[in-house]
Amino acid sequence: MVKTVLKIEGMMCGMCEAHINEVIRKNVPGVQKVKSSHTKGESMLVTTEEPNIEVITQAIAGTGYKVLSSKSEPYVKKFFQAENPF
Domain holding 15: CATH number? 3.30.70.100
DSSP string, 40-71: TTEEEEEESS---HHHHHHHHHTTT-EEEEEE
The count of structural domains within the chain is 1
Question: Would 62 be classed as within a structural domain?
Answer: yes
* pLDDT by position in tens, the chain (length 86): 999 999 999 999 999 999 999 999 999 999 999 999 999 999 999 999 999 999 999 999 999 999 999 999 999 877 655 555 55
Q: H or E segment at 33?
A: strand 31-37
- Asked whether residue 53 is domain-assigned, the answer is yes
Rounded to a whole number of angstroms, the CA Rg of the chain reads: 15
Q: CA-to-CA distance for 71 and 84, rounded, in angstroms?
A: 36
- The stretches of the chain forming alpha helices (DSSP H) are 14-27, 53-61
5 bridge partner residues? 44, 71
Q: Is residue 26 part of a domain?
A: yes
